[in-house]
Structure 1
Amino acid sequence: MIQRHICENGLRIVTEKIPSVRSVALGVWVRTGSRFETEANNGISHFLEHMFFKGTETRTAKEIAESFDEIGGNVNAFTSKEYTCYYARVLDRHAIMAVDVLSDMYFHSVFDEEELEKEKNVVIEEIGMYEDTPDDLVHDLIAQACYSDHPLGYSILGTEEVLRSLTRSDLLTYIDHHYTPANTVVTVAGNFDEQLLEAIKRRFSRYRRSGVSRQVGVPRFAGKSIIQTKATEQAHLCIAVPGLPVGDEQIDSLILLNNLLGGSMSSRLFQEIREERGLAYSVYSYHSAYSDSGMFTIYAGTAPEQVEQVFEIATSILADVRDHGISEKELNKGKEQLKGSLMLSLESTNSRMSRLGKNELLLGRHYSLDELIARIDRVSTEAVAAIADKLFRSPLALAMVSPLEHFPAQVRSDVLVS
């Protein structure tokens, strides 16, 4: 059962007890990411994520790592556009130790100047690695094409120029503004007792930070076309249309639509572009849902001379679903796939912990398994057709990393407009 506790300072603790396992997954979630940055500090959220592992008043970076290695657990973090998460997974008997270390990092990191400069170089190498991975880079470009100069279009990693300029004072100011009790959620999933909950409350329930997070308006879909020329073997192409925000009433229909279009090996895109035509090894679709907007994206990696053909097939599949809908067989297959993946994910304490954090930060509520299954079952072919009709009449956003200097003539943003 999922339980929600609100501390005296406004911080939320969300727990799900699973007595049948021997592990505990813990997460400290902060409602900040690249969406809340400016051009002057773009990348600071991700850089801070790195710096929280570089030593506290009582632990060195090596001791933080060793504290989990010695007990067979793991600790890590990630930054997204709208939240940052610091998490650990350990055996149940080591859960309080994990809370000790995570809270020490959260409250007592020292941000040593020497470590600061070293870690800047680490992140700059990470940016370089990303730039050398075109099938990752193109997803940053499609966000820019969709959102233009809105912060949702910013890179999570930032740029070398901005990273070089960041100071210890910048980090502390950003923490004061964003790492506040109201912006923070601690989540726990696994086999734990009341002692763990009390340990979390002791460490997190009384701190105060007075800063106010930067407020960013709802983005407008820009529908741009961006190409980056690189000496790659393949052309990496993304096609995107506006999607839905995370709490939209049609989100379940869109999730099923994504599944049948490009979310599985039996999907229309995969079967037509890879299996029938042999035009790509990797082809798929995905939906990115944010608090107030979303984007539906198709990706394919193909030979440069085949870009036009892949684009025409992909957009014709979108138009076909928009104009003719889907079959009951496709819908039922998609429902069973989604329900299966949902139930399998619940066998992982990490997955459950992550679900708690995302739902609390972005939705402010939690659905039981029965409620989620019921929502999937309620989706009809008419509902999927309606969301396809709503989304697939928009101008497209386009992004490509390839040796080509221009998009081929038939790769245009207006092909679905009607």
Structure 2
Amino acid sequence: MKYNTITLANGLRIIHLPSASPVVYCGYEINAGAASEAAHEEGIAHFCEHATFKGTARRSSIDIIKCLESVGGDLNAYTTKTTTVYYAAILKEHFALAADLLSDIVFHSTYPQSEIDKEVEVICDEIESYNDSPAELIYDEFENFLFQNHPLGHSILGKSETIRGFKTADAKCFTDKFYRPENSVFFVYGDIDFAFVVDTLKQFTAAVQSSPLHPHTPYEDATVLASPLTDSYEAKQIVVDKHTHQAHVMIGTRGYDVHNEKRIALYLLNNILGGPGMSARLNLSLREEHGLVYTVESTFASFSTTGMWSVYFGCDIKDINQCIALVKKELRQVIETPLTAEELQIAKQQIKGQIGIACDNRESFALDFAKSYLHYGWEKDITNLYANIDKVTANDIQAVAKELFTDHRLTTLIYK
């Protein structure tokens, strides 16, 4: 696996991974997301993602929609806490068309008010649909409690009353600040010549100059979050009456930032407890042994200054306390009893197999290696990741469990 990389004169970084496939995945990943927003503009990163498709000086919104579809390609976008992504899947002979379109919408969108007025209601419908899904909504609210008064707690979608107030000027202000070549990465994955990629991007971004000012990203300033044991974190127990037929529960804590050497041990432990496999400990306990839940899963995410770890499950309201007790029983087990050599070896084989299979999804892998390069300058190396997993010991995993999973560290949010 050999990447090609270059930084253009305007600051745009390009990362290219050759493959034998004639299908090319390419696009822009921008260092701006929900955590880049000021408190009064929550939801604007996602709003701009929608509005960016609504017209440029050269293309109308209909032209943008039809451009790649006319040759069988796909155009898509999404927003996360820290990143906004615009990308395409296209046959390699149409790469230049995709690069032109993507560069045009990212750097030259005009955000016409007439189009925004229509799209705002689409976004508000998306928000209300999300609010009607407690299994999804609880993740946002949990993160807000976990990172209270910090940009990482921002809801990606925002609130309808705020979104309805955004205008062309607001979109321009946010994108002028963050949609800059030096704050972006263009990624390419497919059977296409790197020199051609570079020449094409030079052509379509020639008029886009870098800014002398580094874009201000609020979440990067909050070094107080760097340690999961910081005094700023206080575990909470929250019950919200949602009048739902089923209870929804999250239990979790702040985790390790992406630079912390303990992160890989938590990554492996998370998979043991609540990963996608049916043999995950929480699934075996809550579902297979006790028949109390349909879904139980744990998740782990790392950011530049902090991280988070959590468990989610849905259950009958009468079973909340029993399910919480079973989750905490499994957490106590990893605190008190180190993995055997056989358990550790099986866990490592399992997660490496899952990683290898996931990498076979070329679209997902392209988006992932571009994110690593954007935020940290890392050329994603699966072999190196495997080696780091192999270094993890049973004592490493137990030490992480002792640090994070004690009762006084765990925040609980219940919808019922």
The TM tier, using the shorter chain, reads over 0.9
Identity of aligned residues (%): 33
Out of 199, 213, 216, the position equivalent to 1:213 is 216
Q: Are positions 1:247 and 2:259 aligned together?
A: yes
Distance of 1:86 and 1:225 partners within structure 2: 38
Given that residues 141 and 226 in structure 1 are in contact (C-alpha distance below 8 angstroms), is that contact kept between their aligned partners in structure 2? Answer: no
| 1:397 matched residue in structure 2 | 411
Distance of 2:112 and 2:238 partners within structure 1: 39
Q: Are positions 1:48 and 2:48 aligned together?
A: yes
* TM-score normalized by the length of structure 2: 0.92
Given that residues 43 and 157 in structure 2 are in contact (C-alpha distance below 8 angstroms), is that contact kept between their aligned partners in structure 1? Answer: yes
| 1:353 matched residue in structure 2 | 366
Q: Which digits, 9 at most, give the CA deviation of each residue in 1:219-260, with x for residues without a partner?
A: 343423333322221101000112111222122111110010
Q: Which digits, 9 at most, give the CA deviation of each residue in 1:149-205, with x for residues without a partner?
A: 211111010111211221211111111211122211111111111212210122236
| 1:235 matched residue in structure 2 | 247
What is the one-letter code of the residue matched to 1:247? H
| 1:9 matched residue in structure 2 | 10
Q: Are positions 1:308 and 2:321 aligned together?
A: yes
SS of 1:66's equivalent in the other structure is helix
Q: Which digits, 9 at most, give the CA deviation of each residue in 1:236-294, with x for residues without a partner?
A: 10001121112221221111100100002101100000000000000010102111101
Given that residues 32 and 217 in structure 2 are in contact (C-alpha distance below 8 angstroms), is that contact kept between their aligned partners in structure 1? Answer: no
Distance of 1:199 and 1:88 partners within structure 2: 15
SS of 1:282's equivalent in the other structure is strand
What is the one-letter code of the residue matched to 1:54? K
Q: Which digits, 9 at most, give the CA deviation of each residue in 1:58-104, with x for residues without a partner?
A: 22222222222222221111111111111111111111111111011
Q: Which digits, 9 at most, give the CA deviation of each residue in 1:352-399, with x for residues without a partner?
A: 321222111232212423212211222221221121122113421122
| 1:413 matched residue in structure 2 | none
C-alpha deviation, 1:210, in angstroms: 4.7
Distance of 1:353 and 1:210 partners within structure 2: 30
Report which stretch shifted further, 372-381 or 35-44.
372-381
| 1:201 matched residue in structure 2 | 202
| 1:144 matched residue in structure 2 | 144
| 2:116 matched residue in structure 1 | 116
What is the one-letter code of the residue matched to 1:357? A
| Structure-to-structure mapping, 1:301-380, within 5 angstroms | 301-380=314-393
SS of 1:239's equivalent in the other structure is strand
Structure 1 unaligned spans of 5+: 403-418
Given that residues 35 and 217 in structure 2 are in contact (C-alpha distance below 8 angstroms), is that contact kept between their aligned partners in structure 1? Answer: no
Distance of 2:285 and 2:17 partners within structure 1: 42
C-alpha deviation, 1:42, in angstroms: 0.4
| 2:229 matched residue in structure 1 | none
C-alpha deviation, 1:48, in angstroms: 0.2
What is the one-letter code of the residue matched to 1:318? L
Given that residues 246 and 363 in structure 1 are in contact (C-alpha distance below 8 angstroms), is that contact kept between their aligned partners in structure 2? Answer: no
What is the one-letter code of the residue matched to 2:78? F
Distance of 2:270 and 2:205 partners within structure 1: 39
Distance of 1:46 and 1:182 partners within structure 2: 21
Structure 2 unaligned spans of 5+: 226-231
SS of 1:187's equivalent in the other structure is strand
| 2:79 matched residue in structure 1 | 79
| 2:61 matched residue in structure 1 | 61
Q: Are positions 1:271 and 2:284 aligned together?
A: yes
What is the one-letter code of the residue matched to 2:176? D
Q: Are positions 1:295 and 2:278 aligned together?
A: no
- RMSD (CA atoms): 1.6
What is the one-letter code of the residue matched to 1:213? H
Number of matched residues? 401
Distance of 1:234 and 1:369 partners within structure 2: 40
Distance of 1:96 and 1:227 partners within structure 2: 53
| Structure-to-structure mapping, 1:402-417, within 5 angstroms | 402=416
| 1:382 matched residue in structure 2 | 395
Distance of 2:289 and 2:198 partners within structure 1: 54
| Structure-to-structure mapping, 1:118-137, within 5 angstroms | 118-137=118-137
Distance of 2:261 and 2:409 partners within structure 1: 23
Distance of 1:246 and 1:185 partners within structure 2: 19
SS of 1:63's equivalent in the other structure is helix
With over 3 angstroms needed to count, the CA separation of the structure-2 counterparts of 1:27 and 1:150, relative to structure 1, is same
Given that residues 238 and 398 in structure 1 are in contact (C-alpha distance below 8 angstroms), is that contact kept between their aligned partners in structure 2? Answer: yes
What is the one-letter code of the residue matched to 1:377? D
Distance of 1:329 and 1:113 partners within structure 2: 62
Distance of 1:331 and 1:54 partners within structure 2: 51
C-alpha deviation, 1:105, in angstroms: 0.6
| Structure-to-structure mapping, 1:166-185, within 5 angstroms | 166-185=166-185
Q: Are positions 1:187 and 2:187 aligned together?
A: yes
* TM-score normalized by the length of structure 1: 0.92
Distance of 1:40 and 1:227 partners within structure 2: 27
C-alpha deviation, 1:303, in angstroms: 0.4
Report which stretch shifted further, 124-133 or 196-205.
196-205
Given that residues 238 and 297 in structure 1 are in contact (C-alpha distance below 8 angstroms), is that contact kept between their aligned partners in structure 2? Answer: yes
